[in-house]
Amino acid sequence: MRLLKLVPDDTNINFFRWMWLTSGVSFALMIASVIVLFINGLNFGIDFRGGTTIRAESTNAVDVGDYRNQLDDLGLTDVSITEVFDPTFGERSVVQIRLGARQDAEAVTPAELDTIHAALQEIDPAVTFTAVESVGPKVSGELIQTAFLAVGAAALGILLYIWLRFEWQFAVGGVVALIHDVLITVGIFSLFQLRFDLSTIAALLTILGYSINDTVVIFDRLRENLMKFKTTPLIDIMNLTVNETLSRTVMTSLTTALALGALLVFGGDVIRGFVFAMLFGVVIGTYSTVYLAKNIVLQLGVKRDWSKKVHDPEREVAEGSPFSDLP
């Protein structure tokens, strides 16, 4: 029986052939993301911009699509409708309706609530509003600050972890790759004005964990090879390491992308922003692990014998290596 292999065992790809090009493109995209972010800003959802949440209950079965179509003609802002499932509800159907805040008001008025209620009663006479909550811009501003502090704290924690586990050069390479992934993902959300809410922050934190996991696997193998091949140039050992772990990287990224692709198509509007951020993060995270993190480590150099000087990456690139003729 022949096993399916996406990457042959004898793969020998020179990942440093276009080192300066890939690094240049990565840093250019990071700068472009910052510029787009300053120009366009982010399309904040209800969590960050403020708005109103309505809890609606009915004794009839609820069709979220019908609810959404019924509210589309009312001129509401940033409408999100989700059905809530809980065994304690019994025969009741519970729906959460979220309405974005408008510039001229923090919350919907009682008259607007009556209009929304009347519109839903046309398709479901049994619907009732059991709770109405509003979030003002002050609370939303605090959420924005806390969310970005969470991302920064996660990146700092990862930096310290890699520094303690490996060497500071690995920590710098890993964290720059993480900043690269998060910044470009946020830039995409700003460029296309995709809704940015707490679920997107959750996706960014997940991207941090996913990307650094792949990076640590490669760093672990690199450390083993550094001890095994003590006199081999650093650039050769890095190429060998990435080729050895390439099968694992491709399989992990591909299976994750397949699952996220299914969720993106069939998951509905509620989780679409989260899934898109995750899917894009998997792609850009795999790229940064293979091309950016190791490039930075190569430039910083790694000592294997403290009685000798750090390897000179420019000299090693100039002298060439067994990988120099590879595609």
List domains and CATH numbers for the chain. 19-43+139-319 (1.20.1640.10), 51-135 (3.30.70.260)
Write out pLDDT tens, residues 101-159.
665 555 677 788 888 888 888 888 888 888 887 766 555 567 778 878 888 888 888 88
The three-state secondary structure class of 251 is helix
Please calculate the CA angle 190-65-91 and round it to the nearest 5 degrees. Answer: 125
In this predicted model, which residue has the larger pLDDT, 27 or 94? Answer: 27
State the Cα torsion 192-193-198-199 to the nearest 10°. -40
The mean per-residue pLDDT over the stretch 83-96 comes to 76
Write out pLDDT tens, residues 197-251.
888 888 888 888 888 888 888 888 888 888 888 888 888 888 988 888 888 888 8
Give the Cα separation of 262 and 97 in Å (integer): 25
pLDDT of residue 3: 58
Would you state the structure tokens that stand for residue 22, as one six-digit string? 């890939």
- Looking at every residue in the chain, the average pLDDT score rounds to 80
Is residue 325 predicted with pLDDT exceeding 50?
no
Are 137 and 100 in contact, with CB atoms under 8 Å apart? Answer: no
Give the Cα separation of 144 and 306 in Å (integer): 46
Would you state the structure tokens that stand for residue 153, as one six-digit string? 């704290």
Give the Cα separation of 283 and 301 in Å (integer): 27
Write out pLDDT tens, residues 186-208.
999 999 988 888 888 888 888 88
Are 48 and 144 in contact, with CB atoms under 8 Å apart? Answer: yes
Q: Compute how many other C-beta atoms are within 10 angstroms of the C-beta atom of residue 67.
A: 22
Q: What is the pTM of this model?
A: 0.75
Write out pLDDT tens, residues 253-299.
899 999 999 988 887 666 888 899 999 999 998 899 888 888 888 88
